[in-house]
Structures are given as structure tokens and as C-alpha cells.
């Protein structure tokens, strides 16, 4: 976790215990965003972190995708996710643009790269119908990924080693 | 904890009981007389304290599935969708506590949780259609599984809305906005709570240090005390 026990206690210092005669169904947590999978690309000496955006079946219609902020046009003949991610990273570096979202479809071996995060609310907002993107398509095999391209950065190898496994912790107060 | 008398320094010894190893769960925690019974050595300058658990944490680490709400054009999707991009590791800190408001500068944002509470939402079109009972929104937070689900929903919302800026969140099922909005998810960043710090009121991922944490300084050398790895002593900071 990002948060140490000291920071957690510091944070909780301004929380009060709800009296027993009042509704007290409240719960406080520390959290850390999952960094996702890291793909090391030796040629670029860089790491591409990627996480699946949605479960399969959630896809964007062709027309909507054409309006989305694409980094490069649709590529065909890309046979694997790894190849697609590497291609998008190449495009980002050569175009000096951001890379935020990738779509890979193993069925037609297509690969698309986007320089904006399609995870943003505006792409799924009832108040912004122009940008509404996501639909449910039971036949779709497309995989969407949110990505972060970290140039000249090696993958994070510390994350797993710092996980704690204990399931029960007590905070003690000296009275 | 006060230092005994006029001594400039003191030694600190900590003891614990482990009901899992010794007497069993029925004998957990020492009674006052049991604590006194263990003070078998007479030292004129020693003071004996009993430490009581005031906060009991749940799981220290859990990796959620990641659940993001997808609306879709004209509400065509309108469901929780598995989303690894919204996934977060969460650690339960405490239940039954509420922010006094002092952490408002850390609050990034809040959203209602659409918890049906076992009742059809007011907008449900047909009384004879009971399929709403199978919606994830009807998952009761009063079970371990249900609470884990809503914690995952809240953490996912914090990630989607605030990325890795969110370091804490709380879910509050004591607030109601209507028959179908019975709960609130609030996301918090971490900030240096020292109001005199140049970093005050600025969101930070920085690791704490002795100055920023500002815990009361003791002369005792706690580093030499063999704490159980899952046990922490909680001292009041200067700001109390």
C-alpha cells in the first residue's frame, strides 16, 4: 500500500466513534490503485503498463471509435496483444504523443491506439451524448486496455514483494 | 503515557497475551487482576499500564475485482462491469467511525451508492417484476461478501474518478438520499496534517517521516522493544 500505518492513524485521528445509540454502519479503508501489468519493451527501454478496461462484451461501435481521439489508424494483421501494445508504443514515441487506450481484437487481428483515456466519464455520460461510446455486444471479442507508457522506466518489481499477508491487525491505545 | 516521577529517561517493556497459543479464545485479554498478578517484581520507579484495543481492523489487504458502472447510450448498458483498470487494493481500517469534518481538505469527492436495501426502487416500472432483487445494487452491505462488494465499488469509483490520487475512502450506509440511494462513497487523498508544514493542504504520496508524523517524543527506545509485527502502539500526537 502507499499508505503506512502511521499515515492511516494520522488520517483516522480526526474520526470520531459514532455513539452506540446512533446508526453506525460506516467503514473506512486505505486503498491503492492497482498498477496493472507491465510490459517491458527493450527496443524503447520503456515500460507499458496496461489494465483491461472492461470485461469482454463491452465495446464501442465502429462509428463511435472513428470519432474517438485516435493516435494512429486501425492496423490489421496484429496477431497478439503484445504486438499491439508494442506497436502503439512505437506510434506514441515516433509521434511524440500520449498513449492512454488500446483496443485489440484477436478475431480480426486489429489494433487501435488512442491518445486519450476512454475511461473518462465523458465517454459514458448521460449528459454528454456526443461522446457516449460504450455498448454491450455479446459477439464482440475486442479487448480494451487502459495503458500508461513510462518512457525509460523499468517495470515495478517491488510491488509484489511488499504485499502483506496478515489478515488481522490491532491498533492499541495506551490509556 | 507519562514518565514516572522526575526521571529524565525510562525503559519500556511491552507484554502481550496470545489466546491462540495459550489459554484459548475464552481467556483473551487480561483482566485487571491478571495484569497486576504479572507485576511480580518490585521496582520503586516503575509504573504499570494496561493497553486496550480501541480499534480493531479487518483484513489488511484485499485486491478487489474492479467494478465500474457503465451507463451506455440511452442507459442501454446500466450495470456494473468488471474493470481491471479500476482495480484497487484495499485495507479495512475501522468501522463505526465518522470524519469530524477536519479531513474535508483531503476529500476528493463523493458519490451516492445505489443500494436498494431489499426494496424495489421507486422508479422500478412493474411491481410484479422482481428481477431487481438479483441486481448487484441489492447486495446487502450487512454481510461480509456484500460489504466487500460495495467497498470494491467505492474503490473503483475513486480510481476511475481520481486515479491514484485517492489513498483512503469511506462508505457510509447511514445517509440516505432516496429509496434507492442509500449510501455514500467518499474518496480522500493523503495530506500532511501538520498545519505549519509547507506541504499542508497539498495532496501527497510522500512517505511519512518523524517530523511530518509529529508523534509525541518519548525518551524510551522503542526500537529495542520486540513488538509483534501485527501490533502497533497508538500515541496521541501533539495536536491533541
pLDDT in 10s for each residue of chain B, 240 residues: 555 556 677 777 777 665 555 555 555 556 667 777 777 777 777 777 777 655 555 555 677 788 888 888 877 888 889 999 999 988 888 899 998 887 888 899 999 888 877 777 777 788 888 888 888 888 888 888 888 899 999 999 999 999 888 989 999 998 876 666 688 999 999 887 777 777 677 777 654 444 444 433 333 333 333 333 223 333 333 332
Per-residue pLDDT at A47: 92
Q: Which residue of B has its CA nearest to A175?
A: B51
- Name the phi and psi angles at B81, rounded to 5: -120, 140
Contact B188, B172 (CB under 8 A): no
Which residue of chain B comes nearest to A24, CA vs CA?
Answer: B96
All cell numbers assigned to B120: 424495489
pLDDT-above-70 percentage for chain A: 82
Q: Which residues contact B151 (CB under 8 A, 6 or more apart)?
A: A27, A29, B64, B90, B92, B169, B171
What's the confidence (pLDDT) of residue B218? 33
Task: Name chain B contacts of A172, Cβ cutoff 8 Å.
Answer: 51-54, 231-234
Phi then psi dihedrals of residue B232, to 5 deg: -130, 145
Q: Which of A14, A93, A173 is nearest to B99 (CA)?
A: A14
pLDDT at B175: 84
Fold held by A37-150: Hepatocyte Growth Factor (3.50.4)
Question: Left, alpha or beta for B144 (phi > 0: left; psi -120 to 50: alpha)?
Answer: alpha
Distance CA B35, CA B30 (A): 6
Q: How far apart are CA A6 and CA A9, in angstroms?
A: 5
Nearest Cβ partner of B174 from A26, A132, A175?
A26
- Looking up cell 492513524 gives A9
Q: Would you call A76 an interface residue with chain B, using a CB distance cutoff of 8 Å?
A: no
The reply to whether residue A23 touches residue B84, judged by beta carbons under 8 angstroms, is no
**Mean pLDDT of all residues belonging to chain A:** 81
Q: Are B88 and B61 in contact (CB under 8 A)?
A: no
Across the interface, whether the CB atoms of B81 and A174 are under 8 A apart is answered no
Give the CA-trace dihedral at B191, B193, B197, B202, to 10 degrees. Answer: 20
Given a contact cutoff of 8 angstroms between Cβ atoms, the answer to whether A175 and A140 are in contact is: no
pLDDT of residue B99: 87
CB-nearest partner of A10 from B50, B171, B213: B213
Q: What is the pLDDT of residue B12?
A: 79
What pLDDT shows up at residue B206? 56
- In total, the C-beta contacts within 8 angstroms joining chain A to chain B are 251
* pLDDT reported for residue A106: 95
pTM for the predicted model, two decimal places: 0.72
CA distance B97 to chain A (A): 4
Q: Grid coordinates standing for A159?
A: 510491488
Task: Outline where B58-180 has alpha helix (H).
Answer: 144-162
State pLDDT tens for residues A75-121: 888 999 999 999 999 999 999 899 999 999 999 999 999 998 888 87
Q: What is the dihedral of CA A7, A12, A13, A18, to 10 degrees?
A: -170
Q: In chain B, which residues have their Cβ closer than 8 Å to the Cβ of A53?
A: 83-85
Mean pLDDT, residues A53-70 taken together: 83
Q: From the CB of residue B234, how many other CB atoms can be counted at a distance below 10 Å?
A: 18
Nearest to B169 by CA among B139, B197, B190, B138: B190
pLDDT reported for residue B58: 58
The predicted complex's ipTM stands at: 0.83
Query: In this predicted structure, what is the pLDDT of residue B217?
Result: 33
Residue B223's SS3 state is helix
> Kind of pairing, strands B79-82 and B67-70?
antiparallel
What is the pLDDT at residue A90? 94
| pLDDT value for A13 | 81
Q: Strand, coil or helix: what is A125? A: coil
Instruction: Please report the DSSP string for B14-61 in residue order.
Output: -----TTTTT-GGG-S--HHHHHHT--S--TT-----EEEEEE---S-
pLDDT of residue A3: 61
Contact A174 B237 (CB under 8 A): no
CA distances to B1, B173, B210 from B10, in Å: 12, 46, 20
Amino acid at each position: 500500500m502507499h499508505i503506512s500505518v502511521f499515515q492511516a492513524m494520522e488520517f483516522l485521528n480526526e474520526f470520531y466513534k459514532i455513539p452506540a445509540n446512533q446508526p453506525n454502519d460506516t467503514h473506512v479503508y486505505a486503498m491503492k490503485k492497482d498498477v496493472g501489468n507491465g510490459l517491458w519493451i527493450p527496443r524503447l527501454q520503456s515500460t507499458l503498463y496496461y489494465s483491461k478496461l472492461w470485461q469482454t462484451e463491452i465495446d464501442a461501435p465502429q462509428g463511435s471509435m472513428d470519432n474517438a481521439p485516435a493516435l494512429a489508424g486501425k492496423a490489421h494483421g496484429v496477431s497478439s496483444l503484445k504486438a499491439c501494445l508494442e506497436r502503439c508504443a512505437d506510434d506514441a514515441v515516433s509521434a511524440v504523443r500520449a498513449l492512454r487506450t488500446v483496443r485489440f481484437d484477436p478475431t480480426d487481428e486489429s489494433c487501435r491506439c488512442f491518445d486519450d483515456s476512454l475511461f473518462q466519464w465523458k465517454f459514458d455520460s448521460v449528459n454528454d451524448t456526443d461522446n457516449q461510446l460504450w455498448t454491450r455486444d455479446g459477439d464482440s471479442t475486442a479487448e480494451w486496455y487502459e495503458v500508461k507508457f513510462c518512457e525509460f522506466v523499468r517495470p515495478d518489481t517491488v510491488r509484489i514483494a511488499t504485499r502483506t499477508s496478515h489478515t488481522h491487525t490491532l491498533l492499541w491505545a495506551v490509556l | 503515557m507519562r514518565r514516572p516521577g522526575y526521571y529524565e529517561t525510562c525503559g519500556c517493556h511491552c507484554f502481550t497475551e496470545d489466546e491462540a497459543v495459550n489459554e484459548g479464545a475464552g481467556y483473551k485479554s487480561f483482566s485487571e487482576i491478571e495484569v497486576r498478578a504479572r507485576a511480580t517484581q518490585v521496582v520503586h520507579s516503575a509504573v504499570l499500564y494496561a493497553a486496550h484495543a480501541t480499534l480493531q481492523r479487518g483484513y489488511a489487504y484485499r485486491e478487489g475485482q474492479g467494478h465500474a458502472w457503465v451507463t451506455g447510450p440511452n442507459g442501454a448498458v446500466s450495470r456494473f462491469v468488471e474493470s481491471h483498470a479500476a482495480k484497487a487494493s484495499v485495507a479495512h481500517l475501522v468501522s463505526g467511525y465518522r470524519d469530524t469534518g477536519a479531513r474535508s481538505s483531503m476529500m476528493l469527492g463523493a458519490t451516492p451508492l445505489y443500494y436498494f436495501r431489499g426494496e424495489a426502487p421507486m422508479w422500478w416500472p412493474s411491481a410484479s417484476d422482481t428481477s431487481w432483487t438479483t441486481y448487484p445494487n441489492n447486495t446487502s452491505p450487512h454481510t461480509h461478501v456484500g460489504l466487500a462488494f460495495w467497498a470494491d465499488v467505492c474503490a473503483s469509483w475513486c480510481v476511475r474518478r481520481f486515479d491514484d490520487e485517492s489513498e483512503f475512502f469511506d462508505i457510509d450506509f447511514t445517509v440516505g438520499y432516496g429509496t434507492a440511494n442509500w449510501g455514500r462513497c467518499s474518496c480522500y487523498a493523503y495530506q500532511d496534517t501538520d498545519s505549519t508544514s509547507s506541504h499542508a493542504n497539498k495532496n501527497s504520496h510522500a512517505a511519512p517521516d518523524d517530523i511530518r508524523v509529529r508523534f509525541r517524543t518519548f525518551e524510551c527506545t522503542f526500537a529495542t522493544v520486540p513488538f509483534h509485527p501485527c501490533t502497533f502502539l497508538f500515541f496521541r500526537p501533539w495536536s491533541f
